Chain A
Amino acid sequence: MPDATPTSIDRREFVQWLGGGILVVVNLPMTSVLSPREGAQRRQRGYPEDINAYLHIAGDGSVTLYSGKIEMGQGIMTSLTQEAAEELGVALDTIRIVMGDTDNCPWDMGTFGSLTTRMFGPAVRAAAAQARLVLTDLAAQRLGAPRSSLTVENGVVYVTRDRSRHVSYGELARGERITHTLNERAVLRAVEEFAVMNRSPRRLDGHEKVTGEAKYAGDIRRPGMLYARILRPPSHGASLTRVDTAAARAMRGVTVVNEDGFVAVLAADPETAEQALALVDAQFDLPAPKVDTESIFDHLVRVAPTPDTPEREGDLAAGRRRSVKMFDATYYNSYVAHAPMEPHSAVAEIANGKATVWSSTQAPFSQQETIARAIGFRPEAVRVITPYVGGGFGGKVPGQQAVEAARLAKITGKPVQVCWTRAEEFFYDTFRPAAVIKVSSGIDAAGRVVLWDYQVYGAGSRGSDVFYDIANRSVRVYGEWRGAPRGMHPFAVGAWRAPAANSNRFAAEQQIDMMAAAAGVDPLAFRLKNTKDERMIAVLEAVGTASGWEPAVTPQRTGRGRGVACGIDAETYVALAADVTVDSATGAVTVERVVCAQDMGLVVNPDGARMQMEGCIAMGLGYVFSEEVSFEGGTVLDTNFDTYGLPRFSWMPKIETVTVPNNHLPPKGGGEPAIINMGAVVANAIFDATGARVYRLPMTRERVLEAMGSLE
């Protein structure tokens, strides 16, 4: 491919650059797709506001879909291609997808929030459906038959009644240099007609990933490339007071950079760079630590900003008066790391006034802007290319490593790779925030929830919405994870797979469970009794059926327990049921089985959706049992997986997943919902097994034992 393409996409130039053929751009009404903030960003950047997907049909019939989204394991390379293939009427392997390349792809805010399938998917389907219209119109002229008399199969347009008369997409595109922007809304194919969507082909990234051919940012090699290691402070908030790089400079083949305290060593191989860094003698001033792993919770409540009140209905005082039983509880969770297996990586190369940066990022377009600012280039002079990303989970948005690589490439004049070590990864992660959640609730004599007074500090609002039918309720949110007041957290925090929802559901679904037990009602029946939301009722009933739920009042205190929890995330409804055993001597909890029922609307790729549910359950076990960042002030004490434990094979329960059919609803999010209830479903099962409630995540053996001890 040619290297330079117009960044402000001129459609005619773009199609010429593509070497002819037909380019279809979509201008769906953007109000439903973009927030005003995104729209403004896009305008500022000179990207067409009205385009969110391009599809190109070449003269050989091959089709390329351009998407600003990135593939980090969630499987959208496959599902987006399925959507395009379905609507265009071609086989899946006809389509190539180009993702996350700022020179070639339409502007995109970033791959997060389970937005791809529910927001970008419709644009892809529209683009492909409109392309089908364009091609069918061209075929109608070519074949001398009206559009209505034609059918499309596998990229060939036939006269329905005389199949000897046909023309292929490639023949139609050949010699054309046309760009179509259609405003006529093409009719999308109906579920009953699907041949590619709602099916589970093998993943398109599979072959490359099982052979080791898949390239990640750290696998990019450029001629003369240097490997960089950067001097890091021992603590957030530390300042460099003295640095001596003489010994590193004396090493053969080592380049040392010191630009206003940005100190890096570079060499032709990573081990030499590592050795050189060890020779850099630096001193830092450390601020006195103000908070640590244990004192953070009081701190969060103390420094909390004034709350937002996303929900306020009825009258809390009246709710208290009507309550025959009241429940007050406080829930806690610690900071949690993203810990993707691929640390942040980037390679930057500057040539002829243009910077090309390969970056492991969830947000190539915002990265392009950040890099441009850091090296004093115009954004158009920076191209960010996103190879496969080795896990993101919300942690690969800021892109500091790519900025570092670009700065070093500019300073040294050579291509530079920056791949963080695991210790750097733990240090610069934007952790899931620690949180404190206080809930006061009450039930009336009939076992109906009549009071819900909910306050969350640190985590944020997502997942705190009340879908139970509670007349007197209030939700107060003291600070979102985004834009938390300075000093609230001792280091950066950010989005972590379903941000805030994991914390909020841990609290809310235990509180509900607590009331069910006190009311003497089976916890599943209690939830059904207290909600009128039909989608929630459907997933609760589905999880009951799939798990073989037999109603019983908790706790049964047999050492074996069963829990249920539910929630809404990314417009998807999800309910989980879990079976656990608890060793009363050690506090060790084994999760034997997790059943997940999910209503995610129309499912583009059922097996891909199941993979995400399974992944959520497996990953969730980490924050449930072991994951907790230890720190003293700005010093992060965890530097590797020896002290920060991730879920392992032996922890895995039997996992069963069910999708509740809801084909009339467009596809909803699938990457995050199933993880949000993992804390509560396990806590509720522990309660059933032991009668003890664990209020703090992670539920380590010590905390489980302590909770059991407090019963005596």
Chain B
Amino acid sequence: MTDTIRFTLNGTPVTLETDANRTLLWVLRTDLELTGTKYGCGVGICGSCTVVVDGQAVPACQINLTFVQGREVMTIEGLAQNGKLHRIQQAFHELGGFQCGYCTPGMIMNAYALLLEHPRPTREQIVEGMERNLCRCGAHKRIVDAIEEASHA
């Protein structure tokens, strides 16, 4: 079945003629070739595929195109503006808030939504806000440092 799906992706209007039941994660990664959003668990519990929809962090593996119809979707590719890193990206880079980098886009997008909600979070709020995102390399300490740094930038 083909539906017409319209939403804003990283500030640009997008129109897709496809099945509205398709999962956002796979549409991003295949049709739109935005591979920064990663598959990690497929059931919405690892945070690797986190994107921001209307200011809220959501797992892209758990939402379909109907959900994003008419909304604003932001992925990791939309964060830097004119080649200038967003302050969260800058802080992750400077403080080494990543190792293998695979969970990093999801971490950064979740942090982005977190800072929208709490522009000056306490460390406890950062930990609580990031709790559902998994990192296997163990960059947790520096990720919290980076988000704290970004909130002061």
Contacts and interface: CB of A to CB of B under 8 A. Distances in A.
Interface of A: 72-75, 202-203, 205-216, 218-219, 221, 227, 268-271, 339-343, 388-391, 393, 419, 421-422, 607, 611, 614-619, 640-642, 646-650, 652, 655
Contacts of A615: 99, 137-139
B99 A74 contact: yes
Contact of A342 (B30, B100, B132): B100
B7 interface: no
Closest 9 CB pairs of A and B: A212-B36, A618-B138, A390-B102, A73-B100, A209-B101, A615-B138, A212-B76, A73-B99, A219-B35
A271 B143 CA distance: 32
Given A206-B93, A607-B96, A641 B41 contact: yes
Nearest to A206: B93
B43 A642 contact: yes
B102 A206 contact: no
B39 A646 contact: no
Given A342-B38, A649-B140, A211 B45 contact: no
B90 to A, nearest CB: 8
A206 B101 CA distance: 8
Given A271-B26, A611-B142, A341 B98 contact: no
A619 B85 contact: no
A212 B76 CA distance: 6
Nearest to A213: B36
A289 to B, nearest CB: 26
Nearest to A420: B39
Interface string B16-32: 00000011001001110
A419 B39 contact: yes
5 contacts: A73-B137, A211-B79, A270-B26, A342-B102, A648-B140
Given A209-B98, A215-B35, A341-B103, A642 B45 contact: yes
Nearest to B77: A212
Contacts of B35: 212, 215-216, 218-219, 221
A619 B137 contact: yes
B134 A646 contact: yes
B72 to A, nearest CB: 18
Contacts of A207: 85, 93
A390 B39 contact: no
Contacts of B42: 421-422, 640
B9 to A, nearest CB: 13
A388 B126 CA distance: 28
A8 B99 CA distance: 34
Contacts of A618: 135, 137-141
Contacts of B33: 221
Interface in B101-153: 101-105, 108, 126-128, 130-144
B96 A209 contact: no
B46 A341 contact: yes
A216 B99 CA distance: 14
B140 to A, nearest CB: 5
Contact of B40 (A205, A213, A270, A422): A422
B136 A619 contact: yes
Contacts of B99: 73-75, 391, 611, 615
A205 B101 contact: yes
B61 to A, nearest CB: 10
Contacts of A211: 36, 76-77, 79-80, 85, 89
Give the most central of B39, B80, B101: most A CB within 10 Å.
B101
Given A210-B92, A391-B136, A619-B138, 10 more contacts: A75-B99, A207-B85, A210-B104, A212-B35, A216-B38, A269-B26, A390-B101, A422-B46, A649-B126, A652-B127
Contacts of A611: 96, 99, 139, 142
B45 A218 contact: no
B30 A270 contact: yes
Contacts of A419: 39
Given A203-B96, A212-B105, A388-B101, A647 B40 contact: no
A151 B65 CA distance: 63
Nearest to A423: B42
Contact of B130 (A341, A649, A655): A649
B10 to A, nearest CB: 11
Contacts of A271: 22-23, 26
